[in-house]
Chains A and B, each alone.
Chain A
Amino acid sequence: MPQPLNYLRETASQTAGPYVHIGLAPGAAGFEIFRRELGRDIAGPEAPGERIRVEGLVIDGTGAPVKDVLIEAWQADAAGIYPHPEDPRHSEAAKGFRGWGRIITDFDTGLWSFETIKPGRVMGRNGRLQAPHISLWLVARGINIGLNTRLYFDDEGEANAIDPVLNLIEQVDRRSTLVARRSNRDGAPVYRFDIRLQGEGETVFFDI
């Protein structure tokens, strides 16, 4: 027998279940308990950049909206800086910008939305710039381990065309499942991003 490798093993994931809101968004579960819930404001009121709204549905393999999903978002500020000590420029991150948010659906319709600022481009591997994107992580009943995906923007065609992650997707047609579509509502930009868990038009999910 060789020497043992004494690494610990990652704790196994389990589904967040139907009542994930109790722990992570108790206000939505129907009761107030904490002084404030975390993840309600991604950008903060002072961060510069274009204010945008993102909305969509998560759709299951039967075509039905998933009404008990919880989504977390992680993004850079408008200058492409993550407010995290390992971003070399983190000390220049926009004031009050958290970069992280928690999003839950309407229990009746399954529609979710969040407001933030459009992120800037951030450095990828090997010095290649990435197109603006928001990292998303989905948990829900029936999802055994959180699903990672990315949201890109359809008005960033040039940057998307050379994005190193989008270009890893071998089937070119599937890249569009990660691109949110811009429209205007009352003069404000809204991006639509539906996530299909399974079947036709299935969203690309990552093992990050």
Chain B
Amino acid sequence: MPKPAEFYQRNRLIQPPALTPNYKTSVARSPRQALLSLQNSMSEITGPVFGHGDIDPIDNDLIRNFAKTGDPIGERIIVHGRVLDENGRGVPNTLVEIWQANAGGRYRHKKDTYLAPIDPNFGGCGRTLTDEQGYYFFRTVKPGAYPWRNWVNNWRPAHIHVSVFGTGFVQRLITQMYFEGDPLIRHCPIVNSIPDPQAIDQLIAPLDMNAAIPLDCVAYKFDIVLRGRRSTLFENRLEGN
């Protein structure tokens, strides 16, 4: 086996900083001291490994995985794409988890008290493993926008939360996927915690008519890019022998 290779450093210029005062909760939950940069060791380049024994085939179908008396109410959609690294290579067999509100913007969570009703047939979470090419897909309903207590009249754009692992703990990422054309995106303090307009665009999934299923559901395509890693053309000194 080749020597373990290090990951490219994270480009913090395109990532949201910890302190973004327009997103109020960040004010008391952001470190004041600078992060200490660590070169990768075995502790960082490794990470948890998942297999098909960990999940069930229905776990990626949010239309069916909590259905009790019928299908959930809402716009039926497919969300699909690839998990890639910065070198453009697919990341195979990695765990992708999503969670979201229902079509009315209500979460199935005991802490959510928004007046829009719970959908008895919708749980709002799913998970899957990417295939050999890094491809994944989910079936779900399009989530609704919802209000939140930040400024008096803040509304989150429709979004799906996405969690991805990659192969090393350094690649661990949680983000949110938005939908093409949603006018709430540009108003959102959480979206605007990201300083780079191109990085914001990268979170917006385009409508993908080619992947839609006629007379059944439309589709959105969302590719996720995790940190890439160096090729070992030159010896690195991770283990120092």
Give residues in A with beta carbon < 8 Å to B: 6-24, 26, 29-31, 33-35, 38, 60-62, 64, 66, 68, 72, 74, 76, 82-88, 98-100, 107, 122-128, 130, 133, 135, 137, 139-147, 150, 164-165, 168-169, 174, 197-199, 202-208
Since A7-B88, A18-B111, A197-B30 are in contact, a sample of 14 more A-B pairs with Cβ atoms closer than 8 Å, ordered by chain A residue number, is: A8-B85, A12-B15, A12-B175, A22-B125, A26-B123, A29-B109, A84-B167, A86-B4, A99-B48, A125-B240, A142-B29, A143-B29, A146-B174, A205-B33
Chain B residues contacting A88 (CB-CB under 8 Å) are 1
> Are B193's CB and A14's CB within 8 A?
yes
Q: In angstroms, how far is the closest chain A Cβ from the Cβ of B11?
A: 6
Other-chain contact of A142, B26, B35, B44, B127 (Cβ < 8 Å): B26
By a CB distance below 8 angstroms, the chain A residues around B26 are 15, 142-144
- Chain A residues whose C-beta falls within 8 Å of the C-beta of B232 in the assembled complex: none
A10 near B4 with CB under 8 A, answer no
* Contact between A123 and B239, CB atoms less than 8 A apart: yes
A-B contacts, CB under 8 A, total: 279
Please indicate the chain B residues that have their CB under 8 angstroms from the CB of A66 in the complex: 29
What 1/0 mask marks residues of chain B from 114 to 131 whose CB sits below 8 Å from any chain A CB? 000000000111010000
When chains A and B are docked, how far (Å) is the Cα of A12 from the Cα of B177? Answer: 10
Which residue of B is nearest A143, CB measured?
B29
Q: Check if A12 sits within 8 Å of B14, measured CB to CB.
A: yes
What are 24 A-B pairs with beta-carbon distances under 8 A? A9-B198, A10-B227, A12-B203, A14-B175, A14-B193, A16-B161, A26-B123, A29-B108, A31-B66, A33-B123, A38-B95, A61-B28, A61-B32, A72-B172, A86-B42, A86-B167, A99-B48, A107-B110, A124-B41, A126-B237, A137-B172, A144-B26, A198-B30, A205-B31
User: Is B43 in contact with A29, judged by CB distance below 8 angstroms?
Assistant: no
Docked pose: A107 CA to B111 CA in angstroms: 9
Closest chain A residue to B202 by CB distance?
Answer: A11
Of residues 188 through 203 on chain B, the ones whose CB sits less than 8 Å from some CB of chain A are 190-191, 193-194, 196, 198-200, 202-203
A residues within 8 A CB of B198?
9
Q: Are A30 and B16 in contact (CB under 8 A)?
A: no
Determine the chain B residues whose CB is within 8 A of the CB of A21 once the complex forms. 109
B88 contacts A23, CB within 8 Å?
no
Contact A125 B39 (CB under 8 A): yes
Determine if A30 and B108 form an interchain contact, defined as CB atoms under 8 angstroms apart: yes
Nearest-neighbour CB distance to chain B for A73, whole angstroms, equals: 10
